[in-house]
Amino acid sequence: MKAAVLREVRTPLQIEDVQINKPGPHEVLIRTAAAGVCHSDLHFIEGSYPHPLPAVLGHESAGVVEAVGSEVRTVKPGDHVITCLSAFCGHCEFCLTGHMSLCVSPETKRAPDEEPRLKSDKGPMVQYLNLSSFAEQMLIHEHACVAIRPDMPLDRAALIGCGVMTGVGAAMHTSNVRPGDTVAVIGLGGVGLAAVNGAAIAGASRIIGIDMAPGKENMAKAFGATDFICAKDTDPVKEVIEMTKGGVQHSFEAIGLAKTAEQAFNMLRRGGTANVIGMIPVGQTISLMGAAFLGEKRIQGSLMGSNRFPVDMPRLVDFYLAGKLKLDDMISRRLKLEQVNEAFEEMKTGAVARSVIVFDA
Is 59 known to be catalytic?
A: yes
Q: Which residues of 272-301 are buried (b: 16+ CB within 10 A; e: fewer)?
A: bbbbbbbbbeeeeebeeeeeeeeeebebee
| Domains, in order of start, for the chain | 2-162+306-358 (3.90.180.10), 176-301 (3.40.50.720)
Secondary element (H or E) of residue 280: none
Catalytic-role residue among 26, 39, 59, 173 = 59
Catalytic-role residue among 43, 80, 141, 173 = 43
Is 230 known to be catalytic?
A: no
Predicted pLDDT of residue 361: 47
Distance in angstroms (rounded) separating the CA atoms of residues 150 and 165: 19
Is 39 known to be catalytic?
A: no
Catalytic-role residue among 26, 38, 145, 251 = 38
Contact 293, 269 (CB under 8 A): no
Predicted pLDDT of residue 335: 95
In a structure prediction context, what are the per-residue pLDDT tens digits for the chain, which is 361 residues long?
999 999 999 999 999 999 999 999 999 999 999 999 998 899 999 998 999 999 999 999 999 999 999 999 999 999 999 999 999 999 999 999 999 999 999 999 999 999 999 999 989 999 999 999 999 999 999 999 999 999 999 999 999 999 999 999 999 999 999 999 999 999 998 999 999 999 999 999 999 999 999 989 999 999 999 999 999 989 999 999 999 999 999 999 999 999 999 999 999 999 999 999 999 988 899 999 888 898 999 999 999 999 999 999 999 999 999 999 999 989 989 999 999 999 999 888 876 778 999 998 4
Contact 278, 187 (CB under 8 A): yes
The structure's pTM equals: 0.94
Classify the phi-psi angles of 129: left when phi > 0, otherwise alpha if psi is within -120 to 50, otherwise beta: left
| Residues 6 or more apart whose Cβ sits within 8 Å of residue 56 | 3, 4, 5, 6, 18, 118, 125, 126, 127, 128, 132, 134, 135
Distance in angstroms (rounded) separating the CA atoms of residues 292 and 265: 9
Catalytic-role residue among 40, 101, 175, 251 = 40
| Residues 6 or more apart whose Cβ sits within 8 Å of residue 322 | none
C-alpha closest to that of 184 among 245, 293, 263: 263
Distance in angstroms (rounded) separating the CA atoms of residues 357 and 146: 20
Is 105 known to be catalytic?
A: no
Catalytic-role residue among 89, 95, 103, 162 = 162
Is 40 known to be catalytic?
A: yes
Q: Dihedral sign, CA of 145, 149, 155, 161?
A: negative
| Residues 6 or more apart whose Cβ sits within 8 Å of residue 58 | 4, 35, 41, 128, 131, 132, 133, 134, 135, 357
**The Cα angle at residue 216 between residues 213 and 220, in degrees rounded to 5:** 140
